Structure 1
């Protein structure tokens, strides 16, 4: 691997961080967000489909949990492999591959006639979805200006609420509409993947990754395109540097930057040197420098995944078991889902005011309180109110988590670190749907959601083992 000149990497990083939010940033955020929303729509739809198939196919609780968990098993493997591949072959290529796998498997799921084939296809859907999320957050964070990076990642994560809301709408209007309603739900989930795949191929590769691989001329061209792009939002950003002409392909180093990049102060952190890691990238996550933050972020991801997927995958079925009709339980779930968007909005504002760790821990504490309330109330109004609070705090926490995760590692390890954290989290999302029927049988919804609250509290405590890189250059280790 070619070694990146230190000055080249520093110049590219400084110029990216000095930019306002441009039209090119908007394209990156929207293109990545579409894929993010598709992921959410698929995960959300399966909760409605499980409830419908339980009635139509006579599925047991264990079989329903298996359908949910097999997808998360694929997501665990996909997240781990996706991060490693993204650090090796690039962010954009992995995006396209994940969407292709997801689209084909989701479309084929609409044609299945039994649980066996559905389980196989759900595993492949999980492979695509699992690799998508950590790579997307890594990619967007590497292009976002440092001053608003956390806010942009929370906005990216807010596309999850858009997709989950779409799933709730399809679940309410389409799934119970006919015997084949669940098949149409799968078909609707596959169609937009074609569009997202086209959008993704139109996005640029991460210039930080390109520079780290010695492809400096390509990185320079991407940065110059962003510098020429019209500004959409300048608040809180330094004046954009004057556009720099792209060097010739054969240029061994970059030309001196102009504008803000050229006037960088000595306080600007030195770039990381992307030297080969002894033992590989995974071993580097557990080196003396990173082991504390790796352990903390893995604990947070594991606990949040366990509580979130354990709760939200089963909420429609839990409401049906509580005596509400299928349509009415789906309507309650739709209303609860709508609270996700304000949760993201508040987290997006607080993350640059309070910082990453405080915002994440406060939203996790709010999730714990909401989970206890949801598990103990019985009146319709209280169920909806506590469910909306759970959505608000839990999804705000997800936004903060996706913002902090890529920032705690340097460029050479960023996608690997984010991918393995997500992969460890997916282990919990495999276990939780299988464990929920056992918890419900042992102590009802009260015990079940108390367990979720304990996991939220453990995650809140683990956040304080992370580093907070709010407003700092990504290359600052």
Structure 2
């Protein structure tokens, strides 16, 4: 009887996966992409706001450069790594939906606490809480969207949500420019706006369904998986009419175990190692550029307003890069696109390193554009490389450990600039970004393939 029941469950899972993979269009309400995107908007808003706020915070709290950097970057990244793995593991065990509610609740709480902090210990605690939510949310959104999106347009759909989110990174410098240098409590207003955005995103997320792939992976949730799938099929039929016939998928139900344990066998162990190193090198430059550039420009003789203006104008590149990926993410093999993105990054930072106003503007734009091009495509690529039972855990480990590179880069760049030169520091992070692209070329092909085929 037990064997018959197991075979029956396996056949049901195969049917659910085959029905999901035959849907060629985004099969949730279009508004759901906006709901997911608003959460992303806050994520990138917060990534940018701390670097803009720290000069004013350091002055008001009378703290030195080293402690300022630690609070601004390291504490948040520590929380990021811990939250990403713990909540990512919970998402593989208890579901994507519940975990996405938890992450946005934490980020709303953390950002509100940032705004009302009156001393360094309070700010440190709330930056940690914000980091817990942010790290896990980036992980979960990529996994969640990938599990709903059709293979042929998975890259495009994930970039759509990212395009809404990256506007947060483009708009934040302008918001910071209008608040931080103008008002004594401008940095508090900057965090307060983020808290409001996060709270709105939290309320809206209650409308989202659970991933049918995750439900199917848990055999006792097969009926719930079918109900979500029926809703998806009904939405798709309204858009395109009759759906193609489902093609059977090779799906094997394995003995349930803690999600991380799936990752320490081939091919996932090899992918985990490669992707961790790729993200480590990418985040070195990513966080150094986002967190340190304004302060380094100010130290190099530019005013705070001018320093923020260079980055604000350059930030127009974020949505431009994401828009380019809307038409490129599925047209070409994903890992080649990632490499091309890092070439743009390299050129941008080499221009920025010249420390000439026109080149700083151009370099800031290209570096920002490269970030807008790279991030969601690389997030999608990372999520695709792991099985459903450990997708969030795999992404979390990859991204969480990779963020050690972010903490390292953010602390290292000012040292390199001070010890050698402005040009040396920014050329260094230009090279580390390019290395990430070279490493991506060593990974498997994923474009236009089902998640089950990639993870086989």
Shorter chain as normaliser: what TM range?
over 0.9
SS class of match (1:14): helix
CA 1:464–1:38 in structure 2 vs 1: closer, same or farther (change >3 Å)?
A: same
The residue number in structure 2 matching 1:256 is none
Offset from partner CA, 1:221-241 (integer Å, 9 cap, x none): 11111122267976xxxx653
Q: Distance in 1 between matches of 2:32 and 2:448?
A: 20
Shift of 1:443: 1.5
Give the alignment partner of residue 111 of structure 2, picking from 106, 115, 120.
106
Q: Distance in 1 between matches of 2:412 and 2:62?
A: 20
The residue number in structure 2 matching 1:221 is 227
Give the alignment partner of residue 16 of structure 2, picking from 7, 12, 16.
12
Report if aligned partners of 2:278, 2:440 keep a CA contact under 8 Å in 1.
Answer: yes
2:129 is equivalent to residue 124 of structure 1: yes
SS class of match (2:106): helix
Q: Distance in 2 between matches of 1:83 and 1:232?
A: 34
Q: Distance in 2 between matches of 1:216 and 1:72?
A: 37
The residue number in structure 1 matching 2:421 is 444
Q: Distance in 2 between matches of 1:126 and 1:418?
A: 16
CA 1:117–1:444 in structure 2 vs 1: closer, same or farther (change >3 Å)?
A: farther
* Regions of 4+ moved over 4 Å: 230-234
Q: How does 1:20-99 map to 2 (within 5 A)?
A: 20-22=24-26, 24-67=28-71, 68-99=73-104
Q: How does 1:197-208 map to 2 (within 5 A)?
A: 197-208=202-213
Shift of 1:454: 2.5
Report if aligned partners of 2:173, 2:315 keep a CA contact under 8 Å in 1.
Answer: yes
Report if aligned partners of 1:274, 1:412 keep a CA contact under 8 Å in 2.
Answer: no
The residue number in structure 1 matching 2:217 is 212
Q: Distance in 2 between matches of 1:172 and 1:441?
A: 26
Shift of 1:23: 6.4
Q: Distance in 1 between matches of 2:238 and 2:283?
A: 35
Report if aligned partners of 1:212, 1:274 keep a CA contact under 8 Å in 2.
Answer: no
SS class of match (1:178): coil
Offset from partner CA, 1:227-279 (integer Å, 9 cap, x none): 22267976xxxx653xxxxxxxxxxxxxxxxx522xx2xxx5412424334xx
The residue number in structure 2 matching 1:402 is 379
2:293 is equivalent to residue 320 of structure 1: no
Report if aligned partners of 2:347, 2:363 keep a CA contact under 8 Å in 1.
Answer: no
The residue number in structure 2 matching 1:337 is 315
**Whose helix fraction is larger, Structure 1's or Structure 2's?**
2
The residue number in structure 1 matching 2:280 is 302
Q: Distance in 2 between matches of 1:208 and 1:111?
A: 41
User: Which structure 2 segments of 5+ residues have no match?
Assistant: none
Shift of 1:22: 4.4
Q: Distance in 2 between matches of 1:7 and 1:284?
A: 22
CA 1:351–1:22 in structure 2 vs 1: closer, same or farther (change >3 Å)?
A: closer
Q: How does 1:151-190 map to 2 (within 5 A)?
A: 151-190=156-195
Q: Which stretch has the larger CA shift, 32-41 or 50-59?
A: 50-59
CA 1:216–1:156 in structure 2 vs 1: closer, same or farther (change >3 Å)?
A: same
TM-score (norm 1): 0.89
Q: Distance in 2 between matches of 1:163 and 1:424?
A: 25
TM-score (norm 2): 0.93
The residue number in structure 1 matching 2:340 is 362
Report if aligned partners of 1:105, 1:124 keep a CA contact under 8 Å in 2.
Answer: yes
Report if aligned partners of 2:281, 2:405 keep a CA contact under 8 Å in 1.
Answer: yes
Give the alignment partner of residue 270 of structure 2, picking from 292, 310, 323.
292
Shift of 1:411: 0.9
SS class of match (2:250): coil
Shift of 1:20: 4.1
Report if aligned partners of 1:17, 1:147 keep a CA contact under 8 Å in 2.
Answer: no
The residue number in structure 2 matching 1:253 is none
Shift of 1:404: 0.6
Q: Distance in 2 between matches of 1:300 and 1:216?
A: 36
The size of the alignment, in residue pairs, is: 448
Report if aligned partners of 1:240, 1:260 keep a CA contact under 8 Å in 2.
Answer: no
Q: How much is the aligned-residue C-alpha RMSD, in angstroms?
A: 2.0
The residue number in structure 2 matching 1:416 is 393
